């Protein structure tokens, strides 16, 4: 089968399209004929091998040669022990181990997969899993009228976080590069901040919730921007900051009952189904940046690595 291959950490030139044996599913796996995949910030981290947690899948080089975690496609065969899906069903989801998705086929345990709603295209469905599950977990419990700040809202996952926070009635401030301001407003933000121009963390007592996709400040500093009872959820960012926070008592609680924690987003079929229901009822939508064919995967990774993407990069597998 045709697959994107990565045999070292590096820039976009570390990937190429080549041939790999078609996988054979074990008894507890399904074989999916992939129709579309989408890229996340985690795929960029797995490309360059940084932060350090991106090397859990291989210290010197990726153990699994095929990148890509979010896929949609059609079940081709099922293993003997699989009872939840049948050949011919359209499915989508995030792959365990965050790899294997940029290929014509993948064999994977079915526990993270969901049935693709007929109203969504394969490209639309592939754009949901990681971004949607991050958005679902990081916006849970938002009350109407709350002030929410989304830091790093202009990348792969941000639009769904902004959109869901808005759907739950928050006033949303989104932070990213100046040239992504129009995108942030389109995703639902009420106002935007250019991170090169102003430091939102210096605003005291302003936000009920801060969702940080690119945490790089000390949480002790960010905490000052929270209102009493507010929460700071660190989703991604500098490994040193995330590890130091996670290693502290979880959740860290300071005075004024502010909550600061690394938000662990589990790979979960239930969360995927819940956020997809919100997509199909029109509450929120992933926004596609550009679509590339599988043969142009290196171009797709170059765009991801540049940070120029505004929303999801989708790769179609003909």
175 near ligand NAP, judged by CB under 6 A: yes
236 near ligand NAP, judged by CB under 6 A: yes
155 near ligand NAP, judged by CB under 6 A: yes
The 3-state DSSP class for residue 122 equals: helix
Q: Which residues contact 192 (CB under 8 A, 6 or more apart)?
A: 173, 174, 175, 176, 180, 181, 184, 185
Q: Which of 235, 284, 315, 317 binds ligand NAP (CB under 6 A)?
A: 235
Q: Provide the pairing of β-strand 90-94 with 113-115.
A: antiparallel
CA pair distance 104, 86, nearest whole angstrom? 19
Q: Which of 14, 25, 32, 40 binds ligand NAP (CB under 6 A)?
A: 40
CA distances from 170 to 4, 147, 208, 291, 317 (A): 40, 6, 9, 31, 37
Instruction: Locate 121 and state its tokens.
Output: 């295209």
Question: In terms of C-beta distances under 8 Å and separation of at least 24 residues, what long-range contacts does 249-255 make, across chains too?
Answer: 252/219, 254/223
Kindly state the smallest distance separating residue 292's Cβ from ligand NAP, in Å.
16
Nearer CB in complex with ligand NAP: 143/199: 199
185-204 residues in contact with ligand NAP (CB under 6 A) are: 195
Q: Which of 177, 223, 261, 303 binds ligand NAP (CB under 6 A)?
A: 177
Q: Taking contact as CB under 6 A, which single stretch among the options 17-25, 83-91, 154-162, 292-300 is the one that binds ligand NAP? A: 154-162
Q: Which of 29, 45, 146, 271 binds ligand NAP (CB under 6 A)?
A: 45
Q: Which of 252, 263, 283, 302 binds ligand NAP (CB under 6 A)?
A: 263
Residues in the interface with ligand NAP (CB under 6 A) total 27
42 near ligand NAP, judged by CB under 6 A: yes
173 near ligand NAP, judged by CB under 6 A: no
Instruction: Quote the radius of gyration of the chain (alpha carbons, Å).
Output: 19
CA pair distance 220, 181, nearest whole angstrom? 28
* Binding residues vs ligand NAP (CB under 6 A): 40-42, 44-45, 130, 134, 151-152, 154-158, 175-177, 195, 213-214, 216, 235-236, 263-265, 307
């Amino acid at each position: 089968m045709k697959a994107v291959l990565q045999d070292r950490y590096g820039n976009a030139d570390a990937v190429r399209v080549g041939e790999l044996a078609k996988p054979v599913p074990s008894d507890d796996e399904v074989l999916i004929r992939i129709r579309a995949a989408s890229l996340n910030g985690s795929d960029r981290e797995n490309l360059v091998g940084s932060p350090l947690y991106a090397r859990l899948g291989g210290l010197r080089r990726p153990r699994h040669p095929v990148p890509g975690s979010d896929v949609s496609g059609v079940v081709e065969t099922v293993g003997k022990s699989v009872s939840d899906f049948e050949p011919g069903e359209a499915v989508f989801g995030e792959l365990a181990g965050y790899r294997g998705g940029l290929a014509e086929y993948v064999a994977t345990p079915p526990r993270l997969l969901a049935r693709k709603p007929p109203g969504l295209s394969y490209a639309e469905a592939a754009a949901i899993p990681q971004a949607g599950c991050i958005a679902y977990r990081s916006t849970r419990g938002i009350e109407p009228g709350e002030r929410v700040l989304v830091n790093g809202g202009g990348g792969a996952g941000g639009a769904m976080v902004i959109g869901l926070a808005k759907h739950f009635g928050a006033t949303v401030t989104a932070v990213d590069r100046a040239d992504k301001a129009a995108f942030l407003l389109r995703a639902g933000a009420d106002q935007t901040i250019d991170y090169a121009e102003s430091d939102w963390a210096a605003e005291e007592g302003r936000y009920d919730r801060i969702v940080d996709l690119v945490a790089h400040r000390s949480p002790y500093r960010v905490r000052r921007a929270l209102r009493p009872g507010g929460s700071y959820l660190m989703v991604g960012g500098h490994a040193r900051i995330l590890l130091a926070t996670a290693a502290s008592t979880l959740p860290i609680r300071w005075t004024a009952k502010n909550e600061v924690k690394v938000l662990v987003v589990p790979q979960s079929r239930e969360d995927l189904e819940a956020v997809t229901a919100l997509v199909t009822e029109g509450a929120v939508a992933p926004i596609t940046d550009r679509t590339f064919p599988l043969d142009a995967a290196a171009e797709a990774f170059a765009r991801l690595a540049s940070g120029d993407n505004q929303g999801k990069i989708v790769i179609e597998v003909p």
